[in-house]
Structure formats: C-alpha cells, structure tokens
Structure 1
Amino acid sequence: MTLFTIDEVRKTFKNGEVEEEILKGINLSLNEGEITALVGASGSGKSTLLTIAAGLQPATDGQVLFEEQNLTTMKTDQVRKLRASKFGFVFQFAHLVPFLTVEEQLLLMLDVAESPLKKNEQKYEVNRLLELVGMEHRKTAYPSSLSGGEKQRVAIARAIIHQPKVLFADEPTASLDSQRSKEIMLLLRTLTKTLNITTLLVTHDEEMLAYTDRIIKMSDGVVL
C-alpha cells in the first residue's frame, strides 16, 4: 500500500543573484513496510528530498502527499503536529539529552507526541521497546556512558516510541564502524518489517544497501 507520494517536487535556493535548482521534478512513492534508500554523491539532493518529505522545509513546487494529506498546503502548526505524531527521525548523531537516562529519553518523546497512554502504560511501552532494540539492560544509564552503537539504538527507540507511520533516517550509520553499522541497519530493517513502518533512508555506504528493499539513485537533483 502506498503511504507517501512525492509528486513533481522541485527545490530552488538563491545564491546571491543566481537561483540554483537543487531538486528538479522528483516523483517517488513509498510503500508501507518497506525500507527505501536514497543514494548519490554529495550535492545530489538526497538529504534535501528527505527533509522536504518530512515537512522540515517546504518545496518550491510540487506536492508531498501523506495518507492523502497534502503537506505542501498545510499550515505550519498542522505540519508540526503531523511530524510529532506520525513521523520519527534518526540522524547521523543520536542527539540524546545528556542529563536524561535512556528511559527518560523515551518518556520525553511520548510527552512531545502527546501520547494518550497513562504513566504506567508509558513505562511498560518504554520497557517493551528497549527490549526490542536490545537496550533494556541500560535503561538507567546516561548518554555519556553509552557507546556510539548504543546511542543509535536509543535514538531509534526514541524515534518509534510513539508508533509513527514513517521513519526518516539521514546517514544513521555514518559515525559508526562497519560492524556497528551492520547491526544498526539490521535493527532498522527488523523494526520496519515488524512494526510495518515506511522507512526512508539516506546513506552513502553501499554496504548498507543490502538491508533495504528499494534503492533510489539520485544525481544533480534528479532520480536516475
């Protein structure tokens, strides 16, 4: 089932007096339960496309449809609420709050997403998800005591604790060694399939493509 449709999306930036077109009419559909990778050289437009799809910046032209809702015509507050409730995000660095424990990181996300769960239900859900990502034994730990791979596992758990429909992952393994990268990609694939999430991944590491369902190659703002 198609969950996301990107229709003739263009993005133009002004560089002084010159307009530079970063995306040149992108068409792309994303399906439930699939992990799709955007690949291409630096400057190809893949991260720009991801941020537009996620509602983090507007397109210059075209439209982004999510569950038949048009993000390009929605008000800023509406897009913000949609991101908080339906989207999850994982980046190159975990960006964990340094003074919160692993458990508290996830509880904070539930508050941000305005979860309807009661406090005891939230704690149960946090424990369940930490077990799913292999971090239940570290729930009282602070970020400073975690390895890079552990931090990314917590970041992934935080990104899906509110049961989003879409997970956006921008270079999630770029700061990890080869073994940790494979572990994180296997985890992303397992969660995508288990929870029926639509995952859009940006990566430059070709070894990580073995864990994806679809590969979209980009160059100079177009899909090859």
Structure 2
Amino acid sequence: MAIFTIKDIKKTFTNGEVKEEVLKGINLTLHEGEITALVGASGSGKSTLLTLAAGLQPASGGQVLFEGENMTEMNAEQIRKIRAGKFGFVFQFAHLVPFLTVEEQLLLMFNASETTLKKHEQTKEINRILKLVEMDHRKRAYPPSLSGGEKQRVALARAIIHQPSVLFADEPTASLDSKRSRDVMRLIRELTRTLNITTLMVTHDEDMLSYADHIVKMSDGLVLKE
C-alpha cells in the first residue's frame, strides 16, 4: 500500500537576488514494507528531497501526501506531531548522548515521541527492539565503549522504538567499513519487512543498492530513472 505520494515537488533556494532551483518537479510513490533508495551525485537534490518528505523544510511547490493527508498544507505543530509519532530518522553518524546508556538512549526517545506506554511497557519494548538489532547484550553500555557499527545499530533502534510508519535514512552506512555497512543494511531491510515500515534512504554507496526494492536515480533536481 502506498503511504507516501510526492507530487510535482519543487524547491528553490534564494540567496540575495540569486535563485537556485534544487528540485524541479519530482514525483515519487513510497510503499509499506519497501526500501526506496535515492542515488545521484552531490548536488543532485536527493537529500533535499528526503528532508522535504520528512517535513524538515517546506517545499516551494507541489504536494507531499502522507497517509492521504497533504503535509504541505499543515502548520508547523501538525508536522511536528507527525515527525514525533510517525517518523524515525537515521543519519551518517549516530549522534548518541555520551553519558546515557544504550537503554537510556531509547527511553529518551520515548519521552520525545510523547508515548502513552507505561514504564514497564517501555522497558519491555526496549528489550524487544534491542534484540531485533542484536544489541540486547549491550543495553547497559555507554557510547564510548561501542564500535561504529554498534552505535549505528543503537541509532537504528532509537529510530524505530516508537513504532514509526516511515524510516528516513540519510547515508546510514557512510561512516562504516564494508562489513559493518552490510550488517546495518541487512538490519534495515529486515526491520522494514518485519515492522512493515516505509523506508526512504539516501546513499552514495552502490554496494548498498542491492538491499533496496526501488532505486531512484537523480540528477540536477530531476529523476533520471526509477
């Protein structure tokens, strides 16, 4: 089922009298349980497209329909609630809080998502998610003691702990070696399938494209091939 429909999305940045059209009318449909990978050279517009879909910045034209609702017509508070409750994010670096344990990182995310789960339910869910990302044995560990791959697994757990509908992954393996990159992508694929998440990923690494269901090639703000 389609959960995201992006219609004729445009984005123009203005610097003084200079205007730069970064996205020139993008159309894209994202489905549950599938990974869509955005690829292209730097400056092709793929990261801008991801941030527009996630409601992190406004479009200059077009529509972003999420679960049938037009996000481009929503106010900032409506979009914030969708991001907090329905979206999860993984970036190139884990950005973990250094003085919090792995378990506490996930508890912090529960608070940010305004969950209605009781404390014992949160603990049960944390244990379940950490097992899914194969980090349940490290839940008492602090970030400085974790490897790069382990940190990214925790970041992935943090992104899905509140059961989002959509996972946005912006270069999730760029800081990892090839083996750890494959491990993280295997987990992203498994979680996308198991939890029926819609995953939109930006990547420069062509070796990671084998894990995607759809590959969208972009250049100069346009989709070249899907």
Q: How does 1:57-72 map to 2 (within 5 A)?
A: 57-72=57-72
Paired position in structure 2 for 1:148: 148
Q: How does 1:18-167 map to 2 (within 5 A)?
A: 18-167=18-167
Q: What code does the residue aligned with 1:201 have? A: M
Paired position in structure 2 for 1:198: 198
Paired position in structure 1 for 2:184: 184
CA distance in 1, matches of 2:167, 2:62: 22
Deviation at 1:18, TM superposition (A): 1.2
Q: CA RMSD, aligned part only?
A: 0.5
Quick one: percent identity of the two aligned structures?
A: 75
Alignment TM-score, normalising by the size of structure 2: 0.98
Q: SS state of the match for residue 92, structure 2?
A: coil
CA distance in 2, matches of 1:193, 1:200: 13
CA distance in 2, matches of 1:98, 1:51: 26
Q: What code does the residue aligned with 1:39 have? A: V
CA distance in 1, matches of 2:151, 2:182: 15
* Superimposed CA distance per residue, residues 76-102 of structure 1 (whole angstroms, 9 cap, x where no aligned partner): 011001000000000000011111100
Please, which runs of 5 or more residues in structure 1 have no aligned partner?
Answer: none
CA distance in 1, matches of 2:213, 2:33: 9
Alignment TM-score, normalising by the size of structure 1: 0.99
Deviation at 1:169, TM superposition (A): 0.1
Deviation at 1:16, TM superposition (A): 3.0
CA distance in 1, matches of 2:166, 2:23: 22
Q: What code does the residue aligned with 1:147 have? A: S
* Matched pairs, number: 224
Q: What code does the residue aligned with 1:51 have? A: T
CA distance in 2, matches of 1:201, 1:166: 11
* Superimposed CA distance per residue, residues 104-147 of structure 1 (whole angstroms, 9 cap, x where no aligned partner): 00011111111111100100100111011000010001111110
Deviation at 1:179, TM superposition (A): 0.4
